[in-house]
Amino acid sequence: MLGRAEWRATDLSRFPRLGWAIVTCMDSRVDTTELFGGIGHGDAHVIRNAGGVVTDDTIRSLAISQRLGRTSGIFLVHHTDCALATVTDQEFADQLARETGSRPSWRAESFTDLDGSVRRSMEKVEASPFVPRKHAVRGFVYDVVTGDLHEVRRRPVVPVSHGR
C-alpha cells in the first residue's frame, strides 16, 4: 500500500515553483526528487518517456509547459545503463514486426553515445519553433549507480576559415 503524501494537490499551483521542465527517462531508477539538489512536488514539470529523448510528443509537452505552465528552464536528463542503449532502432522495429505483424510508425530513438544523445535532444529543443524560451536548455547524464549528475556541454562552435 502506498503511504499518504505529506502534501495535498490543493496546496500546489499548476505553475512550477522553480519554473523548470525536466525531461527524463521513465526508468524507475531515476528519482527526480534527488536531481538538482532535491526537488519536490510542485517544483517542476517532469516529462518522462523511454530514454528521456526529445520526440515530437516531448516538444508538444514542452510547448504546453512553457506557454500554459510558465516554465522557462529546460533540463534534459539521460542516464547510464539505459535499455535504449542495448538495441538499435532497426532491431526493435524488426522485433515488433515479428511479434505483431506490423512495423511501428515511430522510432525507438536508441543510442550508443549518452552525451551525443543528450546533445541531439538539446538541438531538437533549440530548433523547435514551438518552444519559445530556449535560453536555459541544459543537458545532463545521471549515473544510476553513483547518483552523480554530469552536465553535457553543447558541441563547440568551430570558426570558419576564409583562407587568410
Separate counts of helices (H) and strands (E) for the chain: 3, 5
Phi, psi values for residue 40, rounded to 5°: -125, -175
Q: What are phi and psi of 13, to 5 degrees?
A: -95, 155
Reduced to 3 states (helix: H, G, I; strand: E, B; else coil), residue 66 is helix
- Is the sign of the CA dihedral 61, 65, 66, 67 positive or negative? positive
Share of the chain above pLDDT 90, in %: 77
The CATH number of the domain covering residues in 15-152: 3.40.1050.10
- Name the pLDDT band for 1 (thresholds 50, 70, 90): very low
| Domain ranges across the chain | 15-152
pLDDT in tens, 63-117: 999 999 999 999 999 999 999 999 999 999 999 999 999 999 999 999 999 999 9
Residue with the larger pLDDT of the pair 13 and 98: 98
Give the amino acid at 122.
Answer: M
Residue 10: what are its φ and ψ, rounded to 5°? -70, -15
